[in-house]
Amino acid sequence: MFDLGYTLQIVILGTVFLGAISGILGTFVVLRNQALIGDALSHATLPGIMIAYMLTGVRSLQVLLLGAFISALVAMFALNTIKKYTTIKFDASMALILSGFFGVGQVFLSQIQKTGGASQAGLSRFILGQAATMLRRDVYFIVIVALVVLLLLIVFWKELKLYIFDENFYKASGLSERFISGLLTMMVTFIIVIGIRLVGVILMSALIIAPPVAARQLSNRFYLNVGIAGFIGAVSGMTGTYLSATRANLPTGPVIALVLGGVVLLALLASPRNGIVKRYVQIRIFRSRIKRYRKLIHLYENPGEVNLDSKEYTYFINHDYVKVEDGALRVTSKGMKRIRSIKAVD
């Protein structure tokens, strides 16, 4: 690699795994139309981190992440309770949870910063992420969790796929909803928790949402969506970490989000499915053809009533689109084919 320090290589290894697994799992989440849950959960981890620190006074990543994990579960429970017992719309309740938990976390953080000694330094890194200062064993921890989630995804692949495509049919097939939705929530929470140290609670959801959105533009197959999203996540994670670690003190989260934003934009432009470039080109072709063949179409629809200038006349005659028959201009079969093809630009 580009003559990186050994530590940076390890950290980049961590972000590659994190990016890949976030994109892979994110495909399931986004296709289930639950992109925002990831965002709410990641913001909701902040108070847990702070409480874990306040209770234990240690800065071990594993302890803090345990706090984050519990905090996210509490948020999930609160979300479900609101859904069950109130008429608040789900997106509104997610926004409530997101801002409420994040606010509480920030209050705790500023309290700790006021009173705490040297050991509290670094807690604020959880807001926007800071990959460069990670310990090697923290990276290994991330890699292991990512591999466990990947394994779970492979094992429950077909059930997950059916569940996110057609929930009712899944249940009617006798498969357990409680298990699969619990599994999905658990996996999302795991990935968020291992990601917040690297990417930060604010932008962690970008790593879950952006790769699948870009991948959806590029493929129509489920497994390819998953694969492409994983690849985009890995590359963006790597690029973002490299840039943030080698430029003076850029937080990792925003840099990764920026890279991801660029990838999504590129995918939207270049998509063979419905890309902006493709549509623009199609419209241009259509317009120029209409301009060139306007009179030919007119002649076809109103035989005999057309005034061609000499340039048009020679062009149509030379291309065998019209011929003179009984002293009148007629559209040939080749000309008709041409007219039909104008309507079907592909």
Partner 1 sequence: MNHVFKVEDLSVAYDRQPVLWDIDLDIPSGILLGIVGPNGAGKSTLVKTALGLVKPLSGDVRFMGEPYSKVYKKIGYVPQKGSVDWDFPTTVFDVVLMGRYGHIGWLRRVGKKDRQATRDALEKVGMFEYRNRQISELSGGQQQRVFLARALVQDADIYFMDEPFAGVDVKTERAIVGLLKELKANDKTVIVVHHDLNTVKDYFDWLTLLNIKVIAHGPVDEVYTKENVRRTYQADTLMSMEREINV
Query: C-alpha distances in angstroms, 231 versus 31, 64, 176, 311?
Result: 17, 29, 31, 54
Token pair belonging to 158: 């077909």
Q: Assign residue 249 a region: left if phi > 0, alpha if psi is -120 to 50, beta otherwise?
A: left
Q: Binding partner 1 by CB under 8 A: which of 83, 135, 152, 222?
A: 222
Q: For partner 1, which is the closer residue by CB, 231 or 315?
A: 231
Which one-letter DSSP state was computed for residue 331?
E
Q: Binding partner 1 by CB under 8 A: which of 59, 96, 112, 159?
A: 159
Q: Does 168 help bind partner 1 (rule: CB under 8 A)?
A: yes
Q: Does 155 help bind partner 1 (rule: CB under 8 A)?
A: yes
Q: Does 219 help bind partner 1 (rule: CB under 8 A)?
A: yes
Footprint on residues 11-40 left by partner 1 (CB under 8 A): 31, 33
Nearest distance in Å: CB 227, partner 1: 12
Nearest distance in Å: CB 85, partner 1: 12
Nearest distance in Å: CB 242, partner 1: 31
Nearest distance in Å: CB 153, partner 1: 13
Q: Does 165 help bind partner 1 (rule: CB under 8 A)?
A: yes
Number of residues that bind partner 1 (CB under 8 A): 25
Nearest distance in Å: CB 95, partner 1: 23
Are 41 and 189 in contact by the 8 Å Cβ rule? The answer is yes
Helix (H, G, I), strand (E, B) or coil at 308: coil
The rounded distance, in Å, linking the Cα atoms of 261 and 205 is: 12
Are 140 and 151 in contact by the 8 Å Cβ rule? The answer is no
Which span (167-175, 203-211, 275-283, 292-300) binds partner 1, by CB under 8 A? 167-175
Q: Binding partner 1 by CB under 8 A: which of 59, 83, 171, 295?
A: 171
Q: Binding partner 1 by CB under 8 A: which of 205, 216, 264, 293?
A: 216
Q: For partner 1, which is the closer residue by CB, 132 or 229?
A: 229
Q: For partner 1, which is the closer residue by CB, 121 or 148?
A: 148
The rounded distance, in Å, linking the Cα atoms of 258 and 233 is: 12
Token pair belonging to 140: 């290994």
Q: Does 221 help bind partner 1 (rule: CB under 8 A)?
A: yes
Residue 162: CB atoms within 10 A of its CB come to 16
Pairing type for strands 328-331 and 322-325 reads antiparallel
The rounded distance, in Å, linking the Cα atoms of 101 and 80 is: 15
Query: C-alpha distances in angstroms, 313 versus 71, 234, 306, 325, 340?
Result: 77, 59, 11, 14, 20
Q: For partner 1, which is the closer residue by CB, 6 or 85?
A: 85
Which span (8-16, 73-81, 212-220, 251-259) binds partner 1, by CB under 8 A? 212-220
Rg of the Cα atoms in the chain: 28
Are 18 and 146 in contact by the 8 Å Cβ rule? The answer is yes
Binding site for partner 1 (CB under 8 A): 31, 33, 155-156, 158-159, 161-162, 165-166, 168-175, 216, 219-222, 224-225
